[in-house]
Every structure is written in structure tokens, then in C-alpha cells.
């Protein structure tokens, strides 16, 4: 009898999901007394003979994270750099160096690669970092793998949120998602949100300021505010309750929502790739400039699980981006 073709099941990455897969891979890894913070946060924290540093890696794939017919090489380089610089920012640190692995098809113009490199250097310079090395290879599509290193005197993890803390955000929310929706419908306006999708503007000043102010937990918003705060809730064993009345829905999002039939609040709550920061602080803390309180942290009710609520209720629908769906 011929073997039957197997469909998706519990063994597939689609079924396990990104973070379930990370958990499984992590179980196969080792440990060292030099690893102060390992997998599970925006960056690892490693001890060296003369100090410590934080380090993180991200991967961007053509057709999934960017399109060459939507963005220039310079814009793609800036976006790839921003995604990685943001990871150090989310730990309360400042990036100092990046290495870049690049795969490109053989017919890629060399000038395109040079412009990509200029984009990296341009964005890295915003925080005083530089590209210090990397590797190149042939690939069927453009693949960009970036490792970022930096300094974080007091790394802020996802696992420190406590009941009674306030939840605050810094930076824009929903703009990149609005830009993606706009481009996906074949439009190029409002230009502000299209530009925000092509080149995000993370609040690079906010991470270190939050750490200095005593932030108890922090994460960057790469997959969506609800999705990313979900990591904080689970890591900390708490419930995060957001107040929609405290969230800002900027005018360009209202315009996109009306034109495309989208809920602007959903863009704010579930849109990713703006690389805003979300953090928790003890209630008496005087927040740094640019941080806005948008919710609170609560105990997990008996019999319940850590979760993110919106105005006290479960959000109906996807909380943000999911790989392999």
C-alpha cells in the first residue's frame, strides 16, 4: 500500500508556532556562567573578561519583511538596521555595532547592494553604531541577517512586571501597519504611513531613559502591541489590562481606516514594525518624557492564565503578526 502524504500536524512549525519552536530549540541548547540573560528577551546579556554586552539577531526575507518594488535599497537597509537597533533599545541599552549577512540573487545590481549598505550605516549612525563586518552568499531571494551588539548597564527583561505597575508606551503605534495596508491596496498615500512602513522611526532615546527610571519590564513592538505585551504577561505571570481611552489614534490612521474600511484601533493594538517600546513601571514612578501610561498590571485571577486584556475584556481576533499562518 503506498504511503499517504502527511498533512500539517503537531510536528510542523506551523502548528508549533514561532515561540513554541523557539522553546523547543532552546531546550536543546547549553548554558554557561557567562550567559547572564539567555533566550527569551529582546537580546541576550553576555559577560566577557573585561565587561558585558547585549547581543541579538534578526532575519529579514524578501517578500515577507520587504518588497523591492515597494522600497528602495536604502530604505530596506535602514529598516533592517532599525529592527535590530530596537532590540538593544528594548533592553534599556544603546547599540554600538552590527554585522550583516546578505544573500542575493546573481542578477542583483551591485549598486543596489551598495545602497543597502548605505542605508544600514545611515540608520546605525542615529545611535552612534556602525556595521563592522558580515558575510555574503548567493540566494534565490534577498535575505538579510543582522546581529547587533550594544551596552546595557541595567538590562530590562520581559519578566519583571508586577501587579500594581502601570503600562506605558513610547513611540508610534499602527503607522507601519497602515502603510502596509495602503501599499497592499495599490496606493501610495497617505505618504506618512507609507514612509513609516518603509523606514520605521523607533524611539531610540526611550529605552535607556526607561531603564534609568526603573522600568520593571520592557519589550519593543515588532509584532503588535497586544502580541508583544503578551510575552511580558506570560514571562511575568501577570495580567496586562490596556485602556483604549489612553491610546492615541493619529490622524493618518483615521484616514487609512476610513479609506480602506479598517478599524484604526485595531491598527494601533495589533500592527507591528513601528518598533515602539512598551514597558511597565511601579505606579509612583515619574515617567521619562515621551512615555504615556496606557494601562495597568494585575494579578492573574484564580484558575486563569496570564493574558492581555483591552478595557478589561479579551480581544477578539489576532493580537498581531504570527509566522507560518
Domain boundary (151, 180, 209) is at: 151
* Pairing between β-strand 239-242 and β-strand 143-151 as defined by DSSP bridges: unpaired
**Global confidence as pTM:** 0.89
Indicate whether 264 belongs to any domain: yes
Tell me: is residue 65 an annotated ligand-binding position. Answer: yes
d(CA 154, CA 214): 9
Indicate whether 9 belongs to any domain: no
pLDDT reported for residue 325? 55
Domain boundary (128, 151, 174) is at: 151
The range of the structural domain enclosing residue 115 comes to 33-151
Tell me: is residue 289 an annotated ligand-binding position. Answer: no
pLDDT reported for residue 237? 98
Tell me: is residue 134 an annotated ligand-binding position. Answer: yes
In a shared domain, residues 235 and 292: yes
Indicate whether 159 belongs to any domain: no
In a shared domain, residues 84 and 191: no
In a shared domain, residues 140 and 241: no
- Specify the DSSP class assigned to residue 66: B
pLDDT reported for residue 4? 39
Tell me: is residue 58 an annotated ligand-binding position. Answer: yes
Please choose, from the candidates 206, 161, 171, the residue with its C-alpha nearest in 3D space to the C-alpha of residue 296.
161
Q: State the CATH number of the domain containing residue 45.
A: 3.30.1330.10
Tell me: is residue 312 an annotated ligand-binding position. Answer: no
Tell me: is residue 147 an annotated ligand-binding position. Answer: no
In a shared domain, residues 178 and 127: no
In a shared domain, residues 280 and 201: yes
Please choose, from the candidates 53, 40, 313, the residue with its C-alpha nearest in 3D space to the C-alpha of residue 160.
40
Burial class of residue 58, CB neighbours in 10 A (0-12, 13-18, 19+): middle
pLDDT reported for residue 80? 97
Tell me: is residue 220 an annotated ligand-binding position. Answer: yes
Indicate whether 290 belongs to any domain: yes
Tell me: is residue 263 an annotated ligand-binding position. Answer: no
In a shared domain, residues 218 and 305: yes
Q: State the CATH number of the domain containing residue 248.
A: 3.90.650.10
Q: Hey, which bits of the chain come out as E strands? A: 35-37, 44-48, 51-61, 94-104, 130-138, 143-151, 166-170, 217-221, 239-242, 276-281, 292-298, 307-310, 313-314
Indicate whether 8 belongs to any domain: no
Burial class of residue 89, CB neighbours in 10 A (0-12, 13-18, 19+): buried
d(CA 242, CA 270): 13
In a shared domain, residues 141 and 172: no
pLDDT reported for residue 318? 87
In a shared domain, residues 76 and 104: yes
Tell me: is residue 158 an annotated ligand-binding position. Answer: yes
What's the average pLDDT block by block, 10 residues per block, for the chain (325 residues)? Answer: 42 64 60 83 92 95 94 98 98 98 98 98 98 97 98 96 98 98 95 97 98 98 97 98 97 97 97 97 97 98 96 90 55
pLDDT reported for residue 7? 43
In a shared domain, residues 131 and 246: no
Query: What is the count of structural domains for the chain?
Result: 2
Please choose, from the candidates 89, 245, 247, 83, the residue with its C-alpha nearest in 3D space to the C-alpha of residue 176.
83
* Pairing between β-strand 166-170 and β-strand 239-242 as defined by DSSP bridges: unpaired
In a shared domain, residues 129 and 171: no
In a shared domain, residues 173 and 199: yes
Indicate whether 23 belongs to any domain: no
Tell me: is residue 42 an annotated ligand-binding position. Answer: yes
Indicate whether 247 belongs to any domain: yes
Indicate whether 321 belongs to any domain: no
pLDDT reported for residue 87? 98
Domain boundary (151, 180, 202) is at: 151
Extract the C-alpha cell encoding 303: 484558575
In a shared domain, residues 59 and 179: no
Residue 17 CA to chain centroid, in angstroms?
17
Amino acid at each position: 500500500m503506498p504511503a499517504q502524504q502527511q498533512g500539517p500536524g503537531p510536528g510542523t512549525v506551523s502548528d508549533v508556532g514561532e515561540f513554541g519552536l523557539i522553546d523547543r530549540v532552546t531546550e536543546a541548547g547549553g548554558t554557561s556562567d557567562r550567559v547572564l540573560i539567555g533566550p527569551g528577551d529582546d537580546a541576550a546579556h553576555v559577560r566577557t573578561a573585561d565587561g558585558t554586552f547585549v547581543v541579538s539577531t534578526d532575519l529579514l526575507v524578501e517578500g515577507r519583511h520587504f518588497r523591492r518594488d515597494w522600497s528602495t535599497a536604502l530604505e530596506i537597509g535602514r529598516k533592517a538596521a532599525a529592527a535590530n537597533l530596537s532590540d538593544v533599545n528594548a533592553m534599556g541599552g544603546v547599540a554600538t555595532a552590527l554585522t550583516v549577512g546578505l544573500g542575493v540573487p546573481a542578477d542583483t545590481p551591485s549598486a543596489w547592494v551598495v545602497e543597502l549598505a548605505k542605508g544600514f550605516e545611515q540608520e546605525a549612525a542615529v545611535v552612534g553604531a556602525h556595521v563592522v563586518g558580515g558575510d555574503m552568499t548567493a540566494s534565490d531571494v534577498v535575505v538579510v541577517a543582522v546581529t547587533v551588539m550594544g551596552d546595557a548597564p541595567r538590562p530590562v527583561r520581559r519578566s519583571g512586571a508586577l501587579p500594581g505597575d502601570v503600562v506605558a508606551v513610547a513611540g508610534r503605534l499602527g503607522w507601519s501597519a497602515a502603510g502596509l495596508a495602503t501599499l497592499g491596496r495599490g496606493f501610495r498615500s497617505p505618504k506618512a504611513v507609507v514612509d513609516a512602513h518603509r523606514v520605521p522611526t523607533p524611539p531610540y532615546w526611550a529605552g535607556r531613559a526607561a531603564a534609568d527610571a526603573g522600568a520593571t519590564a520592557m519589550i519593543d513592538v515588532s509584532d503588535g502591541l497586544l502580541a508583544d505585551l503578551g510575552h511580558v504577561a506570560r514571562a511575568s505571570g501577570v495580567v496586562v489590562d490596556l485602556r483604549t481611552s489612553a491610546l492615541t489614534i493619529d490622524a493618518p490612521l483615521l484616514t487609512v481606516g476610513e479609506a480602506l474600511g479598517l478599524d484604526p484601533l485595531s491598527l494601533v493594538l495589533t500592527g507591528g514594525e513601528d518598533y515602539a517600546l512598551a514597558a511597565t513601571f511601579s505606579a509612583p514612578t515619574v515617567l521619562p518624557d515621551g512615555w504615556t501610561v496606557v494601562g495597568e498590571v494585575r494579578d492573574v485571577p484564580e484558575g486563569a492564565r496570564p493574558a492581555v486584556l483591552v478595557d478589561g475584556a479579551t480581544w477578539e481576533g489576532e493580537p498581531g503578526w504570527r509566522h507560518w499562518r
